[in-house]
Structure 1
Amino acid sequence: MTVSPGNLADRPPAAQPDDLLSDLLRSVRLTGERVVTLQQPSTFAVGFADVGSLHIIEEGELELRIDGDPDVKHIGRGDVVLLPRGDRHQLSSARGPASEQVRWLCGRFTIGDPQASHLLRSLPAAIVLGATGTPVPEGLEVARRMLLIEMQTPSQGSAVMIARILDLIFVQILRTWAAGKDPEPNWLAGAFDAEIGLSLSAIHRAPGRDWTVDDLAQVCNLSRSTFAARFAERVGKPPATYLAHVRLDTAADLLRNTSLSVNHVAARVGYTSEAAFSRAFKSRYSTPPARWRRDATTPGPAPGRATAEV
């Protein structure tokens, strides 16, 4: 008797219909670039700037300083640190501990879509697993060992393997942080809320729809007042504000990547008046849409960024 292969093993689970994190990370087009091992003597300071960074501490103790943040974070062996926004920061030898060598893995990420980087800019400057009491998930330890194998015994395809492992680590850290206790309000914390995540997915799937708070509350099967309060608590802004930001960011993508007229772009993202759309777009991007499109499609400096974060 011939048995279908589908009967020999469990079928893979179907993708979740409301996997907002995957949808948004695809729009960002995140790419792990490379990873190196940094080994320093007992006294040192190393600066990093303008690139998403990952640090996995292998040995020793360090101090992490982030530009604009007066607090110094103390990290050590086994800790994992992600700086998703690319904030300027410095790692230096810790004051006080006995002289010891420090070694850590350092990876970096690039964002293929500069305008989608607002999704990452709304995250914390640094996510630290291990030192803050948030345990490092087992999957990250497996990924770390895989990185070391590819770095120590490189072979054909190692560059791609390293890039994919870095992508995996990035997503795992975000998932762990968002599922932890009391994450900072933003879209990622909202995505991990069983009800609010449904409304975020609905908004991102159809930003041009004439959504009302009542409509979104019904998507979540919540009362209007409960939904509005929980949305603001999880996401950090009211539903209408979040919807407006998503619409304008979608419009920016359409302006850059399609030949649709400004009027058609406005209609696609839910505006009935081109004038109202232009005012809202200029308020968010500091440039009228037609000029923003010219700047975005002409070689040279990048056009204006969003002035308010999703």
Structure 2
Amino acid sequence: MSQVAKAVAPDPRNSDQGLFKYHDEVLWSLSNPARYLPAEAFDHLLRSIRLSAAVPGQANLTAPFGVDVSYGPDTFVVYEAYRGQCVVAFDEPFESIQFCQGDMLVVPCQTRHKIMAPEHTECIDIRDLMARQVEPHLTDRYGRPSLGLLLEQRVNYGGGGELFELRMVIMFVDKQTSGALINGLPGPMLLNGFADKHRCLLNAIFDELGVERVSKSLTQPAAIRLAEALLTIALQEVASQPERATIYKGLADPAVARVIAAVLNEPQKNWELQDLVDVAHICRSALNSRFIASVGMSPRHFVTHIRLTRASELLASTRLSIAAIAERSNYSSEAAFNRAFRKWCGLTPGAIREASTGVS
């Protein structure tokens, strides 16, 4: 006889009732579903995605055209090829791609790129183009800057030939969260046919933002939530591709994924190898071999890598003292932190801070 899930009537005196179960596994609950967080590391990481701001944009580019684009360390962008095609070129080691109607392109933070048709067309810097076409129109009649006016702008540029219509969402990472899925991107990721597959979602996002703008009720919280929905689905697609980066590859192994999720959730914890073994539910030798095979480093090295990656973000984005960052990174002294950091990336924390922020 086949097993079926049983519905248990909720009892306010017992918070474990009101559950739909298969054997002992909770399938669904009449109580708050946040009580039953997903077990998979990838789901855990998707739930942790937080943006601090999101700005949609549109551009009509006519051949020949070329735009040189670069964003800051907390900014990345999702492009949709809405109509036509172009070439997107990147600095080494990434190869140029053909970006065609219906495709989506995820460009990580600090990834300079050139959008061109045809390839090798001379490019205008995006900052010069924005200063010329957008910035003069960003203040209302009282001289105050207006986000609504910004979102009304559509960039028109090029030589008047074949049209390439581009839609985009520029996203700003919330540095208070790990951003593991974002930081773990191996590079620019082309998602062939993604925009066609998710046409209803994309149209709904841009339509809703348009409605809010016209009704003068545009708020960043709404834009952020819509952008996070798009980003979540895009990163799921990225994770299914064979050229995934370190974190993405590790998520394919359930035991390794559990360790990744635990370390990302509490990087400051004093992780001993036995702690990681307990999280993985496999023996030490199996965890070590499977971690190296899928992630490319041992569990201990992964803990160090995550801690120092977080430390480098703090060095670049805050004015915390190096001693305070060392303590947050679970190092016993600033000297020990300096030695570990230099071994990890070849530079001292002070050099990273000076190069990133100009703060010595």
Q: TM-score by structure 2 length?
A: 0.64
Q: Are positions 1:42 and 2:63 aligned together?
A: yes
Match of 1:126 in 2: 188
- Which AA in structure 1 matches 2:339? R
CA separation in 2, counterparts of 1:228 and 1:136? 39
Asked if 2 retains the 8 angstrom alpha-carbon contact of 1:57 and 1:76, the reply is yes
Choose which of 163, 166, 170 in structure 1 pairs with 2:231: 170
CA separation in 2, counterparts of 1:128 and 1:254? 30
Q: Once superposed, what is the RMSD of the aligned Cα atoms? A: 4.0
Query: How much has 1:232 moved relative to structure 2?
Result: 2.5
Q: Deviations 1:99-119 (Å, cap 9, x if unpaired)?
A: 631112022122342996787
* Aligned pairs for 1:97-108 within 5 A: 100-108=162-170
CA separation in 2, counterparts of 1:246 and 1:281? 12
Choose which of 182, 201, 206 in structure 2 pairs with 1:143: 201
* Aligned pairs for 1:227-266 within 5 A: 227-249=287-309, 262=323
Choose which of 35, 54, 60 in structure 2 pairs with 1:33: 54
Q: Could you tell which deviates more after superposition, 200-209 or 33-42?
A: 200-209
Q: Are positions 1:53 and 2:115 aligned together?
A: no
- Which AA in structure 1 matches 2:300? A
- Which AA in structure 2 matches 1:147? I
Structure number with greater Rg is 2
CA separation in 2, counterparts of 1:74 and 1:280? 41
List alignment gaps of at least 5 residues for structure 2. 1-9, 19-28, 120-160
Choose which of 158, 163, 169 in structure 1 pairs with 2:218: 158
Match of 1:307 in 2: none
CA separation in 1, counterparts of 2:338 and 2:230? 39
Judged with a 3 Å threshold, the aligned counterparts in structure 2 of structure 1 residues 12 and 210 are, in CA distance, closer, same or farther, namely: closer
- Which AA in structure 2 matches 1:217? V
Aligned residues: 283
CA separation in 1, counterparts of 2:107 and 2:78? 6
CA separation in 1, counterparts of 2:270 and 2:344? 20
CA separation in 2, counterparts of 1:245 and 1:70? 23
Judged with a 3 Å threshold, the aligned counterparts in structure 2 of structure 1 residues 130 and 254 are, in CA distance, closer, same or farther, namely: closer
Judged with a 3 Å threshold, the aligned counterparts in structure 2 of structure 1 residues 39 and 10 are, in CA distance, closer, same or farther, namely: farther
CA separation in 2, counterparts of 1:84 and 1:218? 34
Choose which of 26, 38, 48 in structure 2 pairs with 1:16: 38
Judged with a 3 Å threshold, the aligned counterparts in structure 2 of structure 1 residues 253 and 149 are, in CA distance, closer, same or farther, namely: closer
- Which AA in structure 2 matches 1:15? L
List alignment gaps of at least 5 residues for structure 1. 305-310
Q: Deviations 1:10-42 (Å, cap 9, x if unpaired)?
A: 55633325554147534xxx3342111111123
Asked if 1 retains the 8 angstrom alpha-carbon contact of 2:79 and 2:105, the reply is yes
Q: Deviations 1:189-226 (Å, cap 9, x if unpaired)?
A: 324542211111222344432421x5423422234333
Q: TM-score by structure 1 length?
A: 0.72
Query: How much has 1:44 moved relative to structure 2?
Result: 1.3
Q: Are positions 1:301 and 2:325 aligned together?
A: no
Question: What's the secondary structure of 2:254's corresponding residue?
Answer: coil
